[in-house]
Amino acid sequence: MTVSADIAPDLATEPTAPWWRQAAVYQIYPRSFADSNGDGLGDIPGITAKADYLAELGIDAVWLSPFYPSELADGGYDVADYRNVDPRLGTLADFDDMLAALHARGIKIVVDIVPNHTSDQHEWFQAALAAGRGSAERERYIFREGSGPDGAEPPTDWLSIFGGSAWERVEDGQWYLHNFAREQPDLNWDHPDVHADFLETLRFWSDRGVDGFRIDVAHMLTKDLTEPLPSRDELALIPKDGNHPLIDRDDVHEIYAEWREVFNSYDPPRTAVAEAWVDPARIHLYARPESLGQAFNFDLLESSFDAQQFRAIITENLARAAQSGSSSTWVLSNHDVVRHATRYGIPQQSADAAGEVRHGGEWLLSGGSEDQLDREKGLHRATAATLFLFGLPGSTYLYQGEELGLHEVADIPADERQDPTFFRTNGEEIGRDGCRVPLPWTADGGSFGFGDGGAHLPQPQWFADYAVDREDADADSTLNLYRKALALRHTLQTQEQLEWIETGRDDVLHFARPNGWQIVTNFGTEPFPLPDGDIVLASRSVSDGRLPGEATVWLAPR
Ligand code: GLC
């Protein structure tokens, strides 16, 4: 029996379908990619120097996490100046050189826009502090008087997403709202200056030739802060249906309609993808062509390596894409989560101290032990999942280092950690540093070829086994598997359709694409007899026509 899913066939079959609909987008976390000047921080010239590496990998676009001036209270997501490059990372001229080098190799560039909050070092926030209560300068942020007899208590008991209070008191006694770290004051999107400034930022980077934008925390910009403000408990009871005071309000799309005019004033139109952690039933609102045009689907980040979970997620997301007219997005790793090779190498049913069952990522983030990690199993599953995803219609977002099969670094000492989550929860949440450790380029040499000045997060000895030079020379390495898969992937991308083929096994998924290729993934451990076809790619070697456990194969018609 076959079940067919048709996705926007008219758009998808057009020979001029926009590039982003089925792109493989590689995320660079610039401070941990490659360091050209030996200061321990990755930089823009470091990326330019690796342009050939990126071209050889076969990706269609690069997404750069923030490289703007920042005090690094949140790894650069605390932006002090939206239209500049952090001097430690280079200059605007370096940015232009990098853009030219990537464009010359056919690679598009997406940059990160952080509109929910600025850094507390941003000139607007500094002016707001200096100008004092009641000033026009404070109107660009969310300042309130405190509660309690002398206003010494925060206005509400709301918690920041990184832990601790969501309010911080300033010298003259007022409080400001920060949904993230205290160095990240939330902007007031009711203020016309805020609208105008972000339009200018979008034009600034578009004029420089940037192809698209990744929109940080896209679901939290607009807020209804009508007094009296609800308590934390009251807030938790308010449905997130478009009218919640803080999250996923319908009126946020008025902002994106303004941005859409800017995007569409360029040829080709600039693209955008929303980072929106919202009710899955509302994600399509962000992906509409009149809003941001595409939205991340994070469902796989929270899923185990399980055939039925994967199938349900794929089916649901293809339907969501059809609903918005956008294409699906697939994500297994990014700079905010435990690397997928590690998530899949931790026993799937780990229980925490309270006996709660958690998936591998949650387990490690909340202090689970690296001793439980089976590196080889994790990597087999990770490459199987990746090849499964590369076979799907839609666009895939990859995170730097996953092409090396890199694992999470779980044992970073407390005094070398950087993530504000770690500090704001007193170490209860270990945070996201483990996936942000600088990449190993060479098996030997200081900081594994990252740069001459050490690495800003400690690299473990086992990084040598995953170094680019070692994997480059090994025909069977994860890197060479990614290269082959990304090159072959273009062959698959004629139409955005897939057809499920029933396998008679709960732990095996099988689908066909319109070009006649078939993709089979064995999520279990029992070998699976392969259907007819020529093997074009396999994550583990196939013998006697049987697909081993925890592996994916791509088959072409004979
Ligand atoms: C997004 C980013 C994350 C950052 C947060 C605050 O979730 O992906 O890294 O900490 O926004 O900007």
Token pair 């066939």 in the structure block, residue: 9
Q: Is any atom of ligand 1 closer than 6 Å to the C-beta of 220? A: no
The answer to whether the beta carbons of residues 262 and 270 sit under 8 Å apart is yes
- Report the DSSP beta bridge partners of residue 495: none
442 token code pair: 């060479």
- Residue 532 pLDDT grade (very low, low, confident, very high; cuts 50, 70, 90): very high
Count of beta carbons in the 10 Å neighbourhood of residue 237: 8
Q: How would you classify the pairing of strands 61-64 and 24-28?
A: parallel
List the single range of 192-196, 291-295, 302-306 with lowest mean pLDDT.
Answer: 302-306
Q: Measured between alpha carbons, how far is 340 from 332 in angstroms, rounded to an integer?
A: 6
Sheet arrangement for strand 175-177: 143-144, 175-177, 167-169
Ligand 1 atom nearest to CA at 116: 12
Q: Is any atom of ligand 1 closer than 6 Å to the C-beta of 216? A: yes
- Residue 372 pLDDT grade (very low, low, confident, very high; cuts 50, 70, 90): confident
The answer to whether the beta carbons of residues 271 and 20 sit under 8 Å apart is yes
pTM comes to 0.96
251: left (phi over 0), alpha (psi -120 to 50) or beta: alpha
CA of 443 to the centre of ligand 1 (A): 31
Q: Is any atom of ligand 1 closer than 6 Å to the C-beta of 404? A: no
Per the annotation, the verdict on 275 as an active-site residue is: yes
Per the annotation, the verdict on 52 as an active-site residue is: no
The pLDDT, as a whole number, for residue 346 is 87
446 token code pair: 């200081």
- Residue 11 pLDDT grade (very low, low, confident, very high; cuts 50, 70, 90): very low
Handedness of CA 480, 484, 487, 492 (dihedral sign): negative
Whether 101 shows a pLDDT value over 50: the answer reads yes
Query: Mean of the pLDDT values across residues 92-107?
Result: 98
The pLDDT, as a whole number, for residue 493 is 87
The pLDDT, as a whole number, for residue 352 is 54
| φ, ψ dihedrals at 379, nearest 5° | -70, -40
Q: Looking at 78, 137, 186, 275, which residue is catalytic?
A: 275
Q: Is any atom of ligand 1 closer than 6 Å to the C-beta of 384? A: no
CA of 217 to the centre of ligand 1 (A): 7
Q: Is any atom of ligand 1 closer than 6 Å to the C-beta of 215? A: no
- Residue 4 pLDDT grade (very low, low, confident, very high; cuts 50, 70, 90): very low
| φ, ψ dihedrals at 555, nearest 5° | -120, 135
**Per-residue b or e along 116-149, where b marks 16 or more CB atoms closer than 10 Å to that residue's CB:** bbbbbbbebbeebbeeeeeeebbbbbbbbebbee
Closest CA to 289 of 278, 267, 273: 273
CA of 235 to the centre of ligand 1 (A): 22
Query: Mean of the pLDDT values across residues 71-100?
Result: 98
CA of 77 to the centre of ligand 1 (A): 6
Q: In which element (H, E) is residue 261 found?
A: helix 252-264
Q: Looking at 120, 168, 216, 402, which residue is catalytic?
A: 216
- Please give the angle made by the CA atoms of 19, 21 and 24, to the nearest 5 degrees: 80
CB-based burial of residue 316 (10 Å sphere; 0-12 exposed, 13-18 middle, 19+ buried)? middle
Q: Is any atom of ligand 1 closer than 6 Å to the C-beta of 29? A: no
Query: Mean of the pLDDT values across residues 105-119?
Result: 98
Write the pLDDT tens digit of every residue in 315-362.
999 999 999 999 999 999 999 999 999 999 987 655 555 555 566 677
Q: Which domains does the chain have, with CATH numbers?
A: 20-115+192-482 (3.20.20.80), 123-177 (3.90.400.10), 498-556 (2.60.40.1180)
The answer to whether the beta carbons of residues 208 and 82 sit under 8 Å apart is no
